[in-house]
Amino acid sequence: MAKRVGVDKWLFFVVVLLVLIGLVMVFSASAVMAKERYGSPYTFVSKQAMWALTGLGALLVLMRVDYRKFNNPKIVLPSVAITMLLLIGVFAMRDSHNTHRWFKIGPFFGFQPSEIAKPVLVLFLAWFLQNRMHCMDDLKGTILRAVTPPLLMIALVLKEPDLGTAMVCAAVLALMLYLAGAQMRYFAIGAALASPVLYFMLFHVAWRRARMLAYMDPEKDPRGTGFHILQSLIAVGTGGFHGLGLMEGRQKLFYLPEPHTDFIYANVCEELGLLGALFVVALFVVLGYRGLRTAFLSTDPFARFLAFGITCAIIIQAFFNISVVLALLPTKGIPLPFISSGGTSVFITLASMGVLLNISRETD
């Protein structure tokens, strides 16, 4: 049995630093816009700070709660059921920009069930797979039972629609099955079944098809579908090596859409330059390394799956967001973990990190 040690201080330090960078960049990216629209430059950063403090509180609490308490069907199965109900119930809410992603409670509070789906998916798979690594060739008894609840969640997230989050969940599902020892033929079957769905979602939904065409040639429609990509690349290129300086970015001044949420990394590149952009990437690399180290050093299968899934979900999401900003992938609405403005995202991610830090106590 692994000896009990303190939490991974590198992991803790990186998380706190990412949150602090996020608060600074949210204020920098949103102050002018918030002042213009809401009369106060602190509108967005004050909400982000509230959620970040609440999330850090959850992290500190969960960091001290034995992760084994979550290895219980009385916790796992109700969590899956409640998440399903939330993902269904969100369709009863008034849509926003033709999507059903938010539960709005009053004028100031709202949350996204799809953000909750990611850690619940990881929790379910960790609980289900921990004792089934010896029977991963059993299609009906293991594979189908393992993928059914996650696929239902993914289908509901797709229906919102939120293709980006659904792809993150699907990637985490595949990686956790791979860690458990699933045979490659099952991944081939899954890819074959998913490919027509993905093709339809990308090329037979008008606005996604427009995004795909803009991704391939953004200059063909620079004021329309290519606007996001071009403005993002202008911000990235303008920053140069050292950046224009904090608060000195120009693209956030009503040129770059969503400069404090999905495209906040473009603002990082413009104001902090290549050095700042690489520093943020380096922090995620360290987080990924320390998270995976925690997973692979754990002797408890449940802890290994849980730590692996939490780490993968965060790193995959960061990879997607940064790739979109750099025009390496088509535009998708995925926040940059810890940094983008978004209360549900920062709170859930910090709470998940609390569980990961608790697991790190049990590694040598």
User: To which residue do tokens 């990879």 refer?
Assistant: 319
Q: What's the confidence (pLDDT) of residue 2?
A: 47
Alpha helices for 181-300 (secondary structure H): 184-203, 206-216, 227-239, 264-297
Let me know if residue 2 belongs to a domain.
no
How far is it, in rounded angstroms, from Cα 163 to Cα 203?
Answer: 13
How far is it, in rounded angstroms, from Cα 236 to Cα 259?
Answer: 12
Helix axes 144-159, 163-180, angle to 10 degrees: 170
CA torsion 50-165-334-336 (nearest 10°) is 60
Q: What's the confidence (pLDDT) of residue 55?
A: 96
Low-confidence ranges of the chain (pLDDT < 50): 1-2
Let me know if residue 21 belongs to a domain.
yes
How far is it, in rounded angstroms, from Cα 102 to Cα 113?
Answer: 7
How far is it, in rounded angstroms, from Cα 312 to Cα 309?
Answer: 5
**Six token digits for residue 39:** 């009369």
Q: What's the confidence (pLDDT) of residue 109?
A: 65
Residue 199 exposed, middle or buried by CB count within 10 Å (0-12, 13-18, 19+): exposed
Helix axes 113-129, 144-159, angle to 10 degrees: 180
**Six token digits for residue 54:** 């609440």
Let me know if residue 323 belongs to a domain.
yes
Let me know if residue 64 belongs to a domain.
yes
Amino acid (1-letter code) at residue 231:
Q
Count of all residues that appear for the chain in the document: 364
Let me know if residue 176 belongs to a domain.
yes
∠ at Cα 181 (11, 115), nearest 5°?
45
Number of C-alpha atoms within 13 angstroms, CB side, residue 94? 4
Q: What's the confidence (pLDDT) of residue 1?
A: 42
How far is it, in rounded angstroms, from Cα 193 to Cα 203?
Answer: 17
How far is it, in rounded angstroms, from Cα 266 to Cα 252?
Answer: 9
Domains identified in the chain, total number: 1
Let me know if residue 57 belongs to a domain.
yes
**Six token digits for residue 198:** 């993905």
Q: Which domain holds residue 157?
A: 9-360
Q: What's the confidence (pLDDT) of residue 112?
A: 86
**Six token digits for residue 343:** 């209360």
**Six token digits for residue 95:** 């849509």
Let me know if residue 3 belongs to a domain.
no
pTM of the predicted model, to two decimals? 0.93
Handedness of CA 145, 89, 202, 176 (dihedral sign): negative
Instruction: Answer whether 309's CB lies under 8 Å from 301's CB.
Output: no
